[in-house]
Amino acid sequence: MHKQKTILHLAVCCALTLAANTALAQTNYNQVSLRAEASVEVAHDLMQVVLYTEEQDNDAARLADKITQTLNQAIAQSKQSSQVKISLGSRYSQPVHQDKSQKVIAWRERAELRLESTDFAQLSTLTGQLLQTLSIASMRFNIANSTRVEHENQLLGQAIAAFSERAKLTSKALGGKDYKLVSLNLNSQGGYQPPMYRSAMVMKAQADESYSTPEIEAGTSELKMIADGMIEVIH
């Protein structure tokens, strides 16, 4: 009797599993994956400059003090530019060895100053002034966070509208009366395009204290919002 109950229980479980799989197959039968996107070309409105000072001395303490004084002077000068954000970058020192031996004959130290601003004219002028005592490591342009969010919010609505339109066309093409949204994923992307800057950036100030101002072309980036999802065609 117990064996019969066990066989009956297994038969019921198999029947339920088969019914569930059949229902799942029927549910997914009319589902279609779709992709739509919206994009816009956005001008870079954030300028980022990394300057550095590098010195060598046989006295490590004197070298550190010299680097600190140069940085402090540059920071004080940068603070006069109200629209420029200032921060310190990496700073490190390393021994200088005599030829291929292990004997340390001096120390070399390097420290970075990072500047950032949406006011290109102000940061460009400041950079030219600071090149009297510092050297340039890099200059790049990007999209400010507030600008990026503003454009992404606009693209969000456009991507959803494009997905909806594509869903309607797909449903109609498959002979459906309408569609039901099963899932939708939204992802933003941004492609960086390197800016152009001319040789004026690496020029030092002249003896008459007229500073060379970098000539810049900020460039653009493409912002993109991608809508990936699945619909169920209703017949």
38 inside domain: no
Q: How far is CA 8 from the centre of its chain?
A: 61
11 inside domain: no
159 inside domain: no
200 inside domain: no
pTM of the model: 0.71
Cα separations in angstroms, 80 against 76, 114, 123, 214, 230: 7, 15, 11, 19, 55
Helices 60-78 and 120-130 pack at an angle, to 10 degrees, of: 150
Please give the tally of structural domains in the chain: 1
90 inside domain: yes
39 inside domain: no
Which two tokens mark 229? 């999802």
CATH code, 132: 3.30.70.360
Which percentage of the chain shows pLDDT scores above 70?
77
19 inside domain: no
- Name the residue range of residue 95's domain: 47-142
Cα separations in angstroms, 36 against 163, 194, 198, 200, 211: 5, 27, 39, 44, 50
Summarised one tens digit per residue, pLDDT across range 86-140 is 999 999 999 999 888 888 999 999 999 999 999 999 999 999 999 999 999 999 9
157 inside domain: no
